[in-house]
Amino acid sequence: MNLKLSHKIILNFVMILIIPMILSVYLVSSDLAERTEKEIDNQLEFTTKIVNRFFYRSLDSMQVQLNLLAGAEKFRQTLENGDTAEITAAVKGWDAKLNYGFVDIYSLDSTTLDYRPFISVHKSKFNEVLAPEPQVFKKVARGKNHSSIVFAGEQKAYFRSVIKTADNLRSDRAYIICAYVLIPNDSIDAIKDITNIDVVIYDDKTSIISTRFDPTGSRTTGLKISPAAVAALEKAQSYREEEKFLGDYTVNVYSKIYDEDRNFRGYMCVLVPRRLFGIANMYVLNNLYIIMAISLALAALSGYLLSANIASPLKEFAKIAHATSEGDFKRKVLIDRSDEIGELSSAFNKMSDKLDIYNESLKRKMFEVTTLYEVSQSMNFLNNKDQLLTIILTKMIDALAAEKGSIMLYNAEECLISCEMAIGYPGKFERRVKFAPGEGKAGQAFKTGETIISNDIQSDSSFLRTQSTQTTDNVTRNMMCVPMKTKDEAIGVINIVNKKGAEGFNEDDKTLAVSLCTQAAMTIENARLYELSITDGMTRLFIHRYFQIRLDEEIKRSFRYGAPLSLVMTDIDHFKKFNDTYGHQVGDMVLIKVADIIRDTIRNEVDIPCRYGGEEFAIIAPQTGFEDAKRMAERIRSAVEVADLAGPDGKTLKITISLGIATYPINAKEKKDLILKADSALYYSKENGRNMAAHFSELPEKKEDGGH
């Protein structure tokens, strides 16, 4: 689960309270339930006791009174001597004191213990159901009293007390007096009214006395006892069951009723409404629930406050830290507090500041390194000087976030620095701006070898205004002039103009610019050195070795692309005569002149003019077939023919050249053969009158054969 800190805090608080509260509710409620059960048990036991006591007490008092009444000498005499009417009258006289239902008197032979019904007062008439059992007679005959509850089987229960009068010594006769008192419903009802607990008394099968009424208003007597209860009471003291009666749940407990001799007489059931006991507990539980609800609310509130106090700033902190981790060092934790969180946030802000600085400088360094790398990469693959300068300048303008710039190189012949490349200026670039070393900002930089930054160029007196810098769309606000140095020698200046943004160039820009310039100077110098190495010093055409290398390359390229390649070999006619007549200087001039014509006549950047050796030149013409090669050779030849060469003493000298052409792959399949074929064609030109161009394909057969 992905929970936020604030949620965790609130949850934590709530859990801290919930668990104990749930526990306490659980414990209290189970405790209360247990208590309720105990209370019910107690109540049941109590009620059972009350009922039992009521029974025994009634029986006891009945017996005591019966003993007193029957024991009276006068009564005994009446029994012995009186007639039925007299005895009946005497018994009826007791009614004032005892509310007897009826009284049965048995006569007993004291010696044999035989008994016979003697007189029945009121209506029992020795009712068989109610009459004492033989064992009771036996016991009473021996002089012990007996009392118990008896059931008449007609929904009526009686207290029955059996006593024996004292023996009449003269007649060996005694009397057993058996008195019955109806147990009135209201005596049990009184228990119900006091305890609010219903009582049902059963004989061995059906209910005889009940405090409970059914909805029709009848007492629930005459109902069969639950068989489960009877079965259970065979084994246990009591049996408990739950019942729903008139919408209320009651707990019913059955127990057995015994007489004083522990003889089973019937059953008793005590019915406790659960409702009576639930109430107090319900209040306790309700209070507990209220307390729980309040505690939970408080927990949630305190959790919320705590989370607002800790989690919210931390959340803010986390947000900023996240931004910082993404590289945004500018965002600050805005917590203005004096506690630990405040300290932490200010420390964090400081750290973030420092990181920002380090990061900026690192970025700068990275930028410089990257720029340098890119520049050098670009430069390494370029031989063309203009392209090289363009790349250098573009990269520098980009790297230094400027609007425009220019490169000025030192021309040793003129002793001036002249603008070789400019970017960002309106109009077409022209190589016309030139400064002497020490002149203007660029000149100063070149001369001193120090980088010059001028961020307020308009008020700088040493700034030289050119025409172009005066126009409105070409205002120079600030500039940086960086000298390009190889070893300790300056080869030129790079001017970077108008830094983007309000601020001018700073020291960082300077550092970067110097690095870049150093690289640029080296590259330019290297380019110059390379050019020198493959160029003939006098004619400024490519040297023989370069020729061999390039011819190899071009043949391979032609083979790869299936394009023709022509090689033109040329030789100055009668060159030896020029040397011999006018000296070597004129010979050199002739060579230079022819070389210049060749360079001007061929396709720039495509055809490769080389000094093959002595007065021989070779031109590699890629993608040039027979016709084109022929045309090109003819063009060169005629250009040389018409050219005038200033000779010594104001003479005008005329030169001619002979040319031989061979084309790959029609004339030769490989380099050496191609050179040989071109040479053969040249030889043919020389042989056939000079000042002409011959293609090997045009030579007579034998010549070709001769070539082999």
Rounded to a whole number of angstroms, the minimum distance from the CB of residue 150 to another protein is 17
- Rounded CA-CA distance 478/457 in Å is 5
CB of 92 or CB of 465, closer to another protein: 92
The reply to whether 215 sits near another protein by the rule CB under 8 A is yes
CB of 178 or CB of 409, closer to another protein: 178
Among 37, 95, 133, 172, the residue binding another protein under the rule CB under 8 A is: 95
The reply to whether 318 sits near another protein by the rule CB under 8 A is no
Q: One-letter amino acid identity for 114?
A: D
Size of the site for another protein (CB under 8 A): 27
In contact, 311 and 5? CB cutoff 8 Å: yes
For the sheet with 264-273, list strands across it: 207-210, 198-202, 264-273, 248-258, 238-245
CB of 41 or CB of 189, closer to another protein: 189
Rounded to a whole number of angstroms, the minimum distance from the CB of residue 211 to another protein is 6
The reply to whether 290 sits near another protein by the rule CB under 8 A is no
Instruction: Give me the residues paired with residue 492 across strands.
Output: 409, 484
How many beta carbons lie within 10 A of that of residue 262, not counting itself? 8
How many beta carbons lie within 10 A of that of residue 152, not counting itself? 17
In contact, 572 and 556? CB cutoff 8 Å: no
3-state SS string for 65-104:
HHHHHHHCHHHHHHHHHCCHHHHHHHHHHHCCCCCCCEEE
Q: Is the peptide bond before 227 cis (omega within 30 degrees of 0)?
A: no
Rounded to a whole number of angstroms, the minimum distance from the CB of residue 189 to another protein is 5
Stretch that binds another protein, among 99-107, 448-456, 556-564, 691-699 (CB under 8 A): 99-107
The reply to whether 212 sits near another protein by the rule CB under 8 A is yes
Rounded to a whole number of angstroms, the minimum distance from the CB of residue 174 to another protein is 28
3-state SS string for 556-570:
HHHHHHCCCEEEEEE
The reply to whether 101 sits near another protein by the rule CB under 8 A is yes
Q: Binding marks (x or -) toward another protein, 139..168, rule CB under 8 A?
A: ------------------------------
The reply to whether 120 sits near another protein by the rule CB under 8 A is no
Q: Which of residues 217-246 bind another protein (CB under 8 A)?
A: 217, 219, 246
CA-closest candidate to residue 493, choices 524, 462, 471: 524
CB of 101 or CB of 266, closer to another protein: 101
The contacts of residue 544 (CB under 8 Å, 6+ apart) are: 610, 611, 612, 613
For residue 703 the two structure tokens come to 């010549």
CB of 157 or CB of 661, closer to another protein: 157
Among 216, 459, 461, 472, the residue binding another protein under the rule CB under 8 A is: 216
Q: One-letter amino acid identity for 549?
A: I
In contact, 103 and 178? CB cutoff 8 Å: yes
Q: Binding marks (x or -) toward another protein, 163..202, rule CB under 8 A?
A: -------------------x-xxx--xx-xx---------
Beta strands 657-664 and 416-423, pairing class: unpaired
The reply to whether 134 sits near another protein by the rule CB under 8 A is no
Among 38, 53, 57, 92, the residue binding another protein under the rule CB under 8 A is: 92
CB of 92 or CB of 330, closer to another protein: 92
CB of 248 or CB of 580, closer to another protein: 248
Token pair 């089973």 is at which residue?
264
Among 99, 380, 458, 471, the residue binding another protein under the rule CB under 8 A is: 99
Tell me which residues touch another protein (CB under 8 A): 92, 95-96, 99, 101-102, 122-123, 182, 184-186, 189-190, 192-193, 211-217, 219, 246-248
